[in-house]
């Protein structure tokens, strides 16, 4: 394993990015979410990923968001910045902005519009490593430009690549990635419906949307697996599963549902950035009912 300043592992919620109705970063609401996560004993914080509508953020917003996380991070846990870009130059600019603001690492998707081949992908992560000099977790979520286990093995010699977040392909893909690369690098769980099973396979932790909704429960589940209390971890899995099914059914507009359910739980999630919208009253009712059925509402 490669040496880094902070050990990046365990439960790392990918924070929402709260916006005002006019689409401006809501700094007060973001600070509130950071404080909530820290009280929930999470092992790290991520900003600017898919959950945080990262593809819709400007470089200035990335820098502002990471600055807020850094200012609120009284526990000094790792801060990871999502980089979702379509060119090497743009990714480097975002990475340098995140580093300037205090990020401890980057979570980087392959390019997603044109994509590239293996040579291009290796060069992309090599350039980020050389220019930004921060640990890199590859965010394997782009169907058009997937990082296969074979490609990951080719990328691993890049100095600052320290792991991969396996976000597609179900348990088969998690298993294949761990089997190929698990002894050389960290594999993070990221598919919300199979987190529990992914932990059993040996992932280094998780960076996944459901962690942002229920950080305390997800910390309990992770700790239960680590201590061998499989029954408790399994029970938490089946409580969270029906809620996640409703959130994920929105497809790539899921941040709207995610923010709606966080509001139901009593936290200030702000608004999604257009063209993502809040769900209908009918869907909000379904989300509330799912929480009630699984005794997940505060005070239940």
What are the catalytic residues?
139, 165
Q: Tell the burial category of 213 from Cβ atoms under 10 Å away from its Cβ (0-12, 13-18, 19+).
A: buried
Cβ atoms of residues 156 and 181 within 8 Å? yes
- Beta carbons of 42 and 13 less than 8 angstroms apart: yes
**Percentage helix, strand, coil, to 5, in the chain?**
50, 10, 40
Alpha-helical segments (H) within 58-117: 59-72, 88-101
Question: Which positions ≥6 away from 82 have C-beta within 8 Å?
Answer: 14, 46, 47, 48, 49, 50, 52, 54, 106, 107, 108, 109, 139
Cross-strand partners of 158: none
Sequence-ordered alpha helix ranges (H) in 112-253: 118-132, 149-155, 170-181, 195-201, 209-213, 215-227, 230-248
Token reading at 40 = 């929930």
Residues 6+ apart with CB under 8 A from 228: none
What are the beta bridge partners of residue 45?
79
Residues 174, 177, 181, 183, CA torsion sign? positive
Q: Which of 261, 230, 268 is nearest to 243 (CA)?
A: 261
Torsion on CA atoms 78, 72, 278, 192, rounded to nearest 10: 20
Per DSSP, the chain holds a count of helices (H) and strands (E) of: 12, 8
């Amino acid at each position: 394993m490669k040496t880094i300043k902070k050990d990046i592992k365990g439960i790392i919620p990918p924070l929402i990015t709260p916006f005002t109705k006019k689409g401006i970063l809501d700094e007060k609401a973001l600070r509130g979410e950071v404080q909530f996560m820290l009280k929930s004993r999470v092992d790290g914080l991520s900003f600017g990923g898919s959950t945080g509508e990262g593809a819709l953020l400007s470089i200035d917003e990335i820098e502002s968001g990471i600055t807020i996380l850094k200012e609120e991070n009284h526990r000094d846990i790792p801060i990871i910045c999502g980089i979702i870009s379509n060119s090497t130059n743009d990714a480097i600019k975002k990475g340098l902005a995140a580093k300037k603001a205090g990020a401890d690492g980057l979570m980087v998707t392959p390019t997603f519009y044109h994509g590239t081949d293996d040579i291009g992908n290796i060069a992309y992560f090599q350039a980020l490593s050389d220019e930004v000099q921060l640990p890199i977790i590859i965010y394997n979520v782009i169907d058009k430009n997937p990082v296969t286990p074979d490609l990951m093995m080719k990328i691993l010699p890049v100095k600052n690549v320290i792991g991969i977040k396996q976000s597609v392909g179900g348990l088969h893909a998690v298993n294949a990635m761990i089997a190929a690369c698990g002894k050389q690098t960290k594999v993070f769980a990221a598919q919300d419906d199979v987190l529990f099973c992914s932990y059993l396979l040996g992932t280094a932790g998780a960076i996944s949307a459901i962690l942002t909704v229920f950080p305390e429960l997800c910390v309990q589940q992770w700790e239960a697996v680590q201590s061998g209390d499989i029954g408790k971890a399994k029970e938490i899995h089946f409580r969270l599963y029906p809620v996640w099914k409703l959130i994920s059914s929105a497809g790539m507009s899921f941040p709207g549902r995610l923010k709606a359910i966080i509001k139901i739980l009593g936290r200030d999630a702000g608004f999604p950035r257009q063209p993502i919208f809040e769900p209908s009253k009918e869907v909000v009712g379904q989300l509330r009912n799912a929480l009630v059925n699984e005794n997940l509402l505060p005070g239940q």
